[in-house]
Amino acid sequence: MARHGFSCGIMAVALVLSLVYSSLVVPSSAELQKLEHSIKDDGSLSLLVVGDWGRKGAYNQTHVAAQMGKIGKELNIDFVVSTGDNFYENGLTGITDEAFEDSFTNIYTAESLQKQWYSVLGNHDYRGDVLAQLSPVLQGVDSRWLCLRSFVLNAEIVDFFFVDTTPFVDHYWIDTEGHHYDWRGVTPRQTYISSLLKDLDSALEASRAAWKVVVGHHTITSVSIHGDTKELHASLLPVLKAHGVDLYVNGHDHCLEHISSNDSPIQYLTSGGGSKSWRGVFNPSSDKLRFFYDGQGFMSLQLTKTAADVVFYDAFGSVLHRWRVTKELHSSI
């Protein structure tokens, strides 16, 4: 869309969507919003996962986007998941920020990527105008865009639980290192976190899907520079274990990883290689490391009722790692 189209699009939809926009700033005790996405006629679902990408095409973002387009076509994907840090370095300045177009609309142009994008916020997004990314005004500019703090996406055979992980991390509140964080809608912090965990616990308990996938920005466990997030270990991980979550998918570390939990079925999948990577850090994990790539790339996930296939790709579209898990379905009667 041209620059003038971008601005006109915003003006055209701003008034119509203003009431919806206001509804995004809801009390922290509100239930998780529930969305639905259909699966294919054969009962399968395919998607791509990319994180830490929004750099106006720099740091191989355009190369990753091009390969996502090719793989997306091969897999006939249903949608894309973004694991956060959508716009660097400091989120969006507002709903008219041209970074939205420069880092998203004009980068992910392949026909196969013209599907719904479901996104969470990352810590860099919180450094800007958070409400801009959450605003449906941007959906009026590019209908693919959908970003909420936390929500549930039901796709029949799978429930995706998107979790806003940034408020959990202490140092964003205590030692901001000179950065400003937009905490509107999040304070008081402990009330927000407690309500989110309660709502997530209830949503997971109510889920009857064959697969449960939780998506957040921050790592729970990682062998790269950010390592484990102790706050998520203490508060979020027990909820995931209690409800038999299959996959925890995240970004934050600018790499690709697959780690298996030693004490639960959870698989930790990091897809944070959407642009700037190559940190040169490796710190062994106490859990089982199955795959680690310190570079750019993305991930695909294909699901049926009884099988999940995970594939990691680099910026050239080469397959780096494949993994499959199957499960038997048990009658509830």
**Active-site residue numbers?**
226
C-beta neighbour count of 245 within 10 angstroms: 23
DSSP string for residues in 170-201: THHHH--TT-----TTT-SHHHHHHHHHHHHH
Residues 242 and 205 sit within 8 Å (Cβ to Cβ): no
Distance CA 116, CA 78 (A): 8
DSSP H or E segment with residue 16: helix 3-24
Give me the sheet containing 247-250, strands edge to edge: 33-36, 151-154, 158-163, 211-216, 247-250, 267-271, 256-260, 288-293
- Residue 68 region by backbone torsions, left for phi larger than 0, else alpha for psi between -120 and 50, else beta: alpha
Integer CA distances (angstroms), 194 to 191, 235, 270, 279, in order = 5, 9, 25, 34
Q: What is the CA radius of gyration of the chain?
A: 19
